[in-house]
Amino acid sequence: MFTHPDHAHCTIRAAIIDLDGTMLDTVPDFQVALNHMRAELDLAPISQAQIAVMVGKGSENLIRAVLALDFDAAGVARRFDAALASYQRHYLDVNGRHCTLYPEVREGLRALREAGLRLACVTNKPIAFAMPLLAQMGLAPFFEIVYGGDSLARKKPDPLPLLTVCADFALAPREVVAIGDSSNDAEAARAAGCFVLTVPYGYNHGRAIQETDSDGIVTSLLHAAGLIRSHNQTAN
C-alpha cells in the first residue's frame, strides 16, 4: 500500500471521499426517478442492474445513456432537455428515500477524523442533490468541504476537483488520499498526484475494480482508515 516512490514517506493529512457507490448505494433512488422519467416518455421501466453501469459520470451522461437504450443519437438529442428536467424533478422528490449506507461508513468516517484527517466529499452528483442527501443520511457533519459535479468547471475524472480541495486545505496532493469506487476516482487522483484507495462493492461503470490503477482495494472506509493510520505511523 502507498508505495509510490515520491509519496511513500509522506504523511496523509486529508481524505477526499466519493459519494455514490462509495458511501451510499443510491441506485434504488436512481431507479425510481429514472422510471418516472421513462413513464413520461411512454418507455418501459429499467432495472437496477442496467442503471448501475451508467452512474458515476454525472446526470447529463446518465440521462443520455438511459435514452440511448431506446433511441439513436438524434432521438436522444431531441429528447434530452425534457428528459433531464423530468429526471431532476423526480430525483429531488425521491432523493435519499430508497438509498442505503454501505457497511462501516460512519465508523470509517469517525476513524478518519479521529486519526486527524480533514475530510472532503467530491462527487459527480449535482450539488443540489448531494448536500441534502449527505444531511439526510447523517454524513454532512463529517465533511469540511463538499463539491458536486456542477460545483466547478470540470468534474472527475478531471483532477480539478481534487486539486481544488488540496488548495482549500493548503495541502500538497501527496498529503491527500482519494477514496472511491470507480476509475473516475482513480484517474482523477493519479492526475492530481494524490494517493487513491478503491472499494470493490460500488458501480465502476460495470467494470471490475481490479482493472483500476490504485494504491489498494479496501473493503470499507473503516479498513481504509486503518491502512492510513498504519501508513502515517510508518511515514513518521
72 to 43, 45, 126: CA distances (angstroms): 14, 18, 26
The label of the residue with cell 448505494 reads 25
18 is an active site residue: yes
Give the single-character DSSP code of 10. P
Backbone angles phi, psi at 16, to 5 degrees: -110, 115
Are the C-beta atoms of residues 142 and 119 closer than 8 Å to each other? yes
The Cβ of residue 42 has, within 10 Å, a number of other Cβ atoms equal to 7
- Of 18, 25, 185, 215, which residue is the catalytic one? 18
Measured distance between the N- and C-terminal CA atoms of the chain, rounded to whole angstroms: 16
CA distances from 47 to 27, 67, 86, 139 (A): 10, 14, 18, 28
The answer to whether 172 touches 166, Cβ cutoff 8 Å, is yes
Q: Cα separation of 179 and 227, whole Å?
A: 12
- Nearest-angstrom CA–CA distance, 2 and 86: 44
The C-alpha cell that represents 62 in the structure block:
446518465
Under a CB-based contact definition with an 8 Å cutoff, are residues 94 and 32 in contact?
A: yes
Catalytic residues: 18
